[in-house]
Amino acid sequence: MQAKQNLQLKKEDALMVLADKGYHTGAELLGCQDDNMITHVAYKEQPSVKHIANGFLAESFKYDKATDTYTCPAGAVLTSLGTWHNKKGEANETSYRFKTYRTDGCKACPLKDQCTKLPKRIIQRSEYQDAVDTNDNNIRNNPHYYKRRQAICEHPFGSIKRHWGYTHTLLKGLQKVNGEMNLIMLCYNFMRTKNILGYAKMLQAITNWQPDYNSVVTALKKGNIQLMLSHLQAAFFFQ
């Protein structure tokens, strides 16, 4: 993973990853977890369905890995034929595979009207569901991590986009946009440091600044401009 490369970590090194919802897939979560990265990515809430009561949403069905079955809130067991189906994306390419689970118990179930309008309730399980469940449990068991991430990460973007008005970049091309964003973030860090430390303490910190130029030169030799800039900023802002 690029994050571990930027941090100069080995593949076997553990790393906690926090990210916002909507920017991930099940395959990416599995890849992170396989690389010993503990993911805390906000999960997508189950959308409300007009003819399904809240207690009968897909998340209310309990999965048993040993028997590869689901149990519905009414106690019926949903089984699968074991056939994998392909979920097609916008370009008609397979984005992931899934299996379907159903039961004959729906026919005589007195709660059927709260569950489905179809002859049988059908549950789909993605091939990446285990990775998704692991991530979702990480969020539920450690809500303070994600709240801390929101406090740290949302403040810069709120200030830069809403207060300063930088809702888009002025340049084009990855290298130019990276340079533009680095300048914006550098200005934000100065303003944030001044607001936290005060002007006098910030000047004192600049006076006492002793950066590790060896780490900067090493990053520059490797062609990693992003790592070089992070070393420069870290030498000042986190001493």
Instruction: With CA atoms as reference, report the closest residue to 127 among 23, 27, 59.
Output: 27
Q: In this predicted structure, what is the pLDDT of residue 30? A: 94
Give the span between the Cα atoms of 95 and 97, in whole angstroms.
7
Q: In this predicted structure, what is the pLDDT of residue 48? A: 66
The segments of the chain whose pLDDT lies below 50 read 235-239
What does pTM read for this prediction? 0.70
Give the span between the Cα atoms of 112 and 102, in whole angstroms.
13
Q: Residue 169, SS3? A: coil
CA angle 100, 105, 108 (to 5 degrees): 140
Q: Which two tokens stand for residue 158?
A: 């709120």
Beta strands in the chain (DSSP E): 15-19, 37-41, 62-64, 69-71, 77-78, 85-88, 94-101, 123-126
Give the span between the Cα atoms of 31 and 20, in whole angstroms.
17
Q: In this predicted structure, what is the pLDDT of residue 151? A: 81
The phi, psi pair for 79, rounded to 5°, reads -115, 165
Q: In this predicted structure, what is the pLDDT of residue 172? A: 93
Q: In this predicted structure, what is the pLDDT of residue 238? A: 43
Secondary structure, 3-state, 90-158: CCCCEEEEEEEEECHHHCCCCCHHHHCCCCCCCEEEECCHHHHHHHHHHHHHCHHHHHHHHHHHHHHHH
